[in-house]
Structure 1
Amino acid sequence: MMKHIVMFRRLPGIEKNEALERELVGRMTTLDQQIDFARDWRVAANELDRPICWDYVLEATFDDAQAVARYLPHPAHAALVADLKQYFEWVAVDYTR
């Protein structure tokens, strides 16, 4: 199994827009409904106010690296990424568990 973890935070210089953020995070939360080969899917907000913390985390599990490779260009994922990059920056880690 391949674990896919992505952390998100607002881009530097972008003011918080609660309605937009709620909409984007909602789309992240339900993206797995369009990706039938995602095994586990969780999106959570950071709960502690510390300088090193990012705002959100997405944790997903796929069967293998090939499934992650199929996920990345998936039309539903690509459409969300196009909107996310206007508001968030992110980092990702993919590893076999």
Structure 2
Amino acid sequence: MITHIALFKLKDGIERSSPSVVEAEKFARAVGSHVPELVDWRVGWNMVDRDISYDFAVIGVLPDLAALEKYQANAFHQESVQKWREISDWVVADLEDS
């Protein structure tokens, strides 16, 4: 199993209530129902504000690397990525579960 984690930090001057952020969140939440390879999909806003914190996170579980590649190429996922690219910077980690 692969656990895919992406952490998003909103760009300076962009607020959670901004229409572009609301739209990006909507897409992020829907990825789980548009990517059949995902075994589990969780998303949410960070609850604690710290200097080193990111604002929003997605966590997906996939059965293997082939499924991760399909997830990355999925058209709906790519549309979601584009929406986040406009409003945030992010980091990604893909963990192999043992």
- Considering the TM-score relative to the shorter chain, is it more than 0.5? yes
Match in the other structure for 1:15: 14
Sequence identity (%): 23
Structure 2 residue runs of 5 or longer lacking an equivalent are none
C-alpha distance in 1 between matches for 2:32 and 2:81: 14
Instruction: State the superposition RMSD in angstroms.
Output: 1.2
Unaligned runs of 5+ in 1: none
Contact 2:5–2:93 (Cα < 8 Å) also in 1: yes
AA of the residue aligned to 1:42: R
SS at match of 1:72: helix
Matched to 1:82, the amino acid is Q
Find the aligned partners of 1:54 and 1:73 in 2 and give their Cα distance.
Answer: 25
TM-score (norm 1): 0.91
**TM value normalised by structure 2:** 0.90
C-alpha separation between the residues in 2 aligned to 1:16 and 1:64?
35
Q: Distance in 1 between matches of 2:16 and 2:3?
A: 30
Aligned residues: 96
User: Which digits, 9 at most, give the CA deviation of each residue in 1:26-67, with x for residues without a partner?
Assistant: 210111111011000000110111111100110110001111
CA contact (8 A) 1:14 1:87 kept: no
Structure 1 runs of 4+ aligned residues shifted over 4 Å read none
